[in-house]
Structure 1
Amino acid sequence: MKRNATAVWKGSLKEGKGALTTQSTVLNNTQYSFGSRFEEGVGTNPEELVAAAHSGCFTMQLSAFITEAGFVIESIQTKCEIDFQNGTIVGSHLTVEGKVAGISNETFQELVTKAEKNCPISKLLNTDITSSATLL
């Protein structure tokens, strides 16, 4: 399976602007710019999209591990914070809240760590990945 997205950029770095379109068209000529990346401009940015990809991938992987362990998931919510400093992504932190019937906190924490290390986006990222998890 292969997935794709396209970026189009017009103009200089600071004054230019771009548009992102994904294969599914969930993003369809979605704007991004220097302002949306480094300031508070309107639009998305690469780091926000990496955070979305990492939180989504991790949550699906955690769901698979919890289900394989025989537990029933009510909900899992994951926030990903990408730490972007001096032109480099230096970290990705996952904050997880889970409602899972019958699971112990110890087992939940073990499965969170396993998912953190094994989701495909974690494997792709060449950065420090950390997590904190709360079983609700």
Structure 2
Amino acid sequence: MKPEHMNVPVSQGPVRRPHHDHEDCRGVASILSMVGDKWSVFVIMMLHDGPKRFNELKRMIGGISQRMLTLTLRGLERDGLVTRTVFPTIPPRVDYELTDLGRGLAKPVMALGEWAMAHKGEIEGARTRFDQRNDT
């Protein structure tokens, strides 16, 4: 045995981690499932530079249905991340905009989106290699 191995402190039992209430974990999980949903991420990314109308968002987010965009916007509004403003015009104009809370979330969401775009090719390549390996 080397001399440096002789003075290793004896463990005093398992490492203690801060206690988290299971209820807290469930609460955080429900928030993350909403804001981590792919459509929510896209909506937040599209609203980061200012308010948008419903059809403008729909055009910007390829592949989202009208129903899914409606549900996503309602969920984000319910969570306090988006505001919906109705203007009394004919036809009525409705704008969606990030709240202060939503703007706080936009920065990490934008970083996640930028990371995904930067590494899209690498991930697709890894998926292809994995699928080919598992097909044989």
Q: TM-score, normalised by structure 1?
A: 0.25
Larger Rg: 2
Higher strand proportion (structure 1 or 2): 1
Instruction: Give the number of the structure with larger relative contact order, counting CA–CA contacts within 8 Å between residues 6 or more apart.
Output: 2
Q: More helix per residue: 1 or 2?
A: 2
